[in-house]
Amino acid sequence: MIQHIIKRLLLLPVLLLIFSIFAFIIIQAPPGDFVTSYIAELASSGSSMDQVQIDALRAQYGLDQPIYTQYGKWMSRILRGDLGVSLDWQKPIKELITERLVLTLIIGLMTFFLSWVLAVPIGIVSAVKKYSLLDYGLTVFNYIGIATPSFLVALIAMWLAFSWFGVSVTGLFSAEFVDAPWSMARVGDLLKHLWLPVLILTLSGTARLARIMRANLLDELNKPYVEMARAKGMSEWKLIMKYPVRVAINPLVSTIGWFLPLIFSGSLVVATVLNLPTIGPMFLRSLTNQDMFLAGAIVLIYCMLAIIGTLISDILLAWLDPRIRMES
Amino acid sequence: MAEPQEPQPSFGQKVLENMQTASAVSYKPMVRVDEDAALAPVGAAQDAEAFYVAPNWKLVWWRFRKHRLAMISGLVMIFITIIALAPDFFATQNPHTTNALESFIPVQRIHFFDERRLSPFVFGATGQRNPKSLRVEWVIDESVKIPVRFFAPGYPYKLLGVIPTNIHLVGVAPTEEQAAAKEAAGSSTAAGPQRISQGLHLMGTDRLGRDQWSRLMFGTRVSLSIGLVAVAVSTILGIFLGGISGYFGGTIDMIVQRTIEILQSLPAIPIWLALSAALPRTWSVEQTYFAITIILALLAWTTLAREIRGRFLTLRDEDFIIAAKLSGCSQQRVIFRHMAPTMSSHIIAAVTLAIPVMIINETFLSFLGLGLRPPAISWGVLLQEAQNLQSIALAPWLLLPGLVVIITVLALNILGDGLRDAADPYTS
């Protein structure tokens, strides 16, 4: 078990190295750099810069050096915990991102837990009551949940809230709390706004997980050991919860590996629609403004979250399933 | 082939059976042949024979046919494909034509019966200038009836890019006075402060007065084809890399598998966004289109490659493959005559399930403004119009393209599930 986890942990830096190179290439890919778009912005507002100033600006941000030097500098700074300065916001990236990252994580984790809390019972009920009206309804719900992109759900929710109650459901804070320092009142205000994005993101996740849970459990319910327990006179409810559900939940744990990263990066689109102060909308803005250090930092954070997701599912699986534990 | 009626289980039960994802449907070939008279046109004695000599595709088709919901989804997809092939025919006007005076006209529903007589019409729309916002606001006016005809003449186009014609599925019936009025004042007539639209807008118009129905037809072509092309590219990559990985094994297998693992642990959505943002803004619509398909395919081939490799590995040890090898079939014959036909139905099912994912991906990329950009029309570009609360509050019909996305994705998912369940007729 411990060996298994150590093996996984040793792989982590290798993956991070590959991903960081990848992230850097991507942000370097657009033609021109931040200075080019900065000059264009200046030109559109009527002012301009001479070549000396431009060169000075490039030198200041190290944009005049070859790519591998830039990567080396970027990486060594990140390893020392310094994410650099956002060219667009003119602020240290750490300062910009921290609160947004925390909010992203809160939304992501809440979505994750709510999806599980809903999906497992839904899966169990529709497998046990196979072909009942309830199962039929839940299956339809699952199909629609999978087919509807979450940003559409967000748009529809926004429209319904507006046309029925006349309220705008965007943002995570009421106007008076947006820039306020953290306090109990602000946390309360956050909780008041948090439920809708979480619910929207939960919909598709629940649908996917419930479908897998139902299929897994159906496979188990016909097995002889279930028959055996039943023949021995075990109460049906206890039997199902104790044996087949525990087996059926195993493959579901292995979905954490892709489900957790999917929530974090998938929330990006919903966050843009609902104008949430998470890292998603900031990432989009940094991409369009070619704010490469910020974009690179956020891509790297997304990669980290993905790796952590896989790691958690690996550890959980090894802990749950002795076959995997023994293998290593 | 004649199809005698078979006793059907209740609809709900049938639907559930179709919707089931995994191997829970238990079919035993022998029992199934006895029970199911629909398998062959003749009596039960010959059924068994028909079952045993039927080629693989026939077995798949028999099994697929039993999934009623998947069959319906198949029909829906055929219909959507026809729209994608000939959007001009279904459109009512040129999707790029703007008319600033006719922005945000609401949905005009077709009424088929006019005073109990079959005579389809839509109610006209009248616009009144709002004195505060100075914007023309349109409402459906039940006093104006605009007659509608099917297969009516409209703007000229080339059907399937070849046949020049001007016939469209629906259109405003040409009447003399209207033609005269049109000549006099464009498509909308101004009567004092009021304007009356003589146009036909089945799904309303957008911010720039473009007909949303016509735009949706053209968007269907782009969105569906981008899904197909992206899946085609990733299928080719997947078959090639998954195939050599499964076939050769060893070091090549190791390299391909590690690459797949790394690509799969990348967070797809941010990477797609970053790559699309890197596309030069100056590129033409066609260039962006192909770049987006390639970007989508680059991360998506891994799932298909895994599927194909897994198939290859299980098939390699099957009895009939060993038998073929032992009876002296050449390597090539084993692969193409024995392995490929058995795998093809699985690949088709996997590909069908991959298309809706691609469609959703293109939609959200374009929706965020990083995928296709206007003047290109796709579902995502259409939904971009509904991006903020103001436009949704003002014109909720701008959300209608979303409904089409949902229907298409739903149909493709059910179709893919049906195909996957049918792909292996021998499983129990």
A149 touching B (Cβ < 8 Å)? yes
Of B271, B360, B383, the CB nearest to A26: B271
Which tens digit of pLDDT belongs to each residue from A165-179? 877 777 777 777 777
At A45, the amino acid letter reads S
Task: Select the residue from B265, B295, B359 to test the A interface by mutation, using most A Cβ atoms within 10 A.
Answer: B265
- As a whole number, mean pLDDT of residues B379-403 equals 86
- Specify the range with the lowest mean pLDDT, choosing from A227-236, B37-46, B356-365: B37-46
Which tens digit of pLDDT belongs to each residue from B131-178? 777 777 787 777 777 777 788 787 888 888 778 888 888 877 766 555
Could you tell me which residue, B25 or B241, shows the higher pLDDT? Answer: B241
Which tens digit of pLDDT belongs to each residue from B250-288? 888 888 888 888 888 788 888 888 888 888 878 888 888
Distance CA B80, CA B169 (A): 15
CA–CA distances in Å: residue B252 to residues A192, B242, B243, B246, B257:
54, 10, 11, 9, 8
Do A125 and A134 meet the contact criterion of CB atoms below 8 Å apart?
A: yes
- Specify the range with the lowest mean pLDDT, choosing from A5-19, A312-326, B211-225: A312-326
Tokens standing for residue B223? 């969105």
Q: Do B278 and A29 touch (CB under 8 A)?
A: yes
A141 touching B (Cβ < 8 Å)? no
* pTM, to two decimals: 0.81
Which helix (H) or strand (E) is B392 found in, with range? helix B389-394
Q: How many CA atoms lie within 13 A of B114 on its CB side?
A: 14
Q: Do A155 and B356 touch (CB under 8 A)?
A: no
Which tens digit of pLDDT belongs to each residue from A87-132? 777 788 888 888 889 989 999 999 999 999 999 999 999 999 888 8
Interface of A with B in 167-226 (CB under 8 A): 168, 170, 211-212, 214-216, 218-219, 222
Name B280's Cβ contacts closer than 8 Å, sequence gap at least 6: A30, A31
Contacts of B262 in chain A (CB under 8 A): 15, 18
Task: Select the residue from B13, B21, B378 to test the A interface by mutation, using most A Cβ atoms within 10 A.
Answer: B21
pLDDT, chain B, mean: 78
* pLDDT at position B182 over 60: no
Q: What is the SS3 assignment for chain A?
A: CHHHHHHHHHHHHHHHHHHHHHHHHHHHCCCCCHHHHHHHHHHHCCCCCCHHHHHHHHHHCCCCCCHHHHHHHHHHHHHCCCCCEECCCCEEHHHHHHHHHHHHHHHHHHHHHHHHHHHHHHHHHHHHCCCCHHHHHHHHHHHHHHHCCHHHHHHHHHHHHHHHHCCCCCCCCCHHHCCCCCCHHHHHHHHHHHHHHHHHHHHHHHHHHHHHHHHHHHHHHCCHHHHHHHHCCCCHHHHHHHCHHHHHHHHHHHCHHHHHHHHHHHHHHHHHHHCCCCHHHHHHHHHHCCCHHHHHHHHHHHHHHHHHHHHHHHHHHHHHCHHHHHHC
Per-residue pLDDT at B80 = 93
Which helix (H) or strand (E) is A273 found in, with range? helix A256-274
Q: Do B271 and A299 touch (CB under 8 A)?
A: yes
Instruction: Find where tokens 């319906």 sit.
Output: B72
Per-residue pLDDT at A30 = 67
Which tens digit of pLDDT belongs to each residue from B82-131? 999 988 888 888 888 887 777 787 887 777 777 777 777 778 777 777 77
Per-residue pLDDT at B427 = 58
Instruction: Provide the 8-state DSSP code for A116.
Output: H
Going by pLDDT thresholds of 50, 70 and 90, the confidence category of residue B194 is: low
- As a whole number, mean pLDDT of residues B241-257 equals 82
Q: Do B406 and A144 touch (CB under 8 A)?
A: yes
Task: Select the residue from B259, B389, B417 to test the A interface by mutation, using most A Cβ atoms within 10 A.
Answer: B389
- Cβ contacts from A onto B, under 8 A: 141
Tokens standing for residue B311? 């198939």
Which helix (H) or strand (E) is B146 found in, with range? strand B136-159
* pLDDT at position A15 over 80: yes
Supply the CATH classification number for the domain A93-327.
1.10.3720.10
Per-residue pLDDT at A40 = 73
Q: Do B364 and A30 touch (CB under 8 A)?
A: no
Do B116 and B220 meet the contact criterion of CB atoms below 8 Å apart?
A: no
Which tens digit of pLDDT belongs to each residue from A201-255? 998 889 989 988 998 898 888 889 999 999 998 888 889 888 899 888 888 887 8
Of B12, B22, B364, the CB nearest to A219: B22
Tokens standing for residue A81? 């915990």
Domain regions of chain A by residue span: 93-327
Do A247 and A219 meet the contact criterion of CB atoms below 8 Å apart?
A: no
What's the gap in Å between the CA of A186 and the closest CA on chain B?
A: 25
Per-residue pLDDT at B223 = 92
Which tens digit of pLDDT belongs to each residue from B11-40? 444 444 444 443 444 444 444 444 444 444
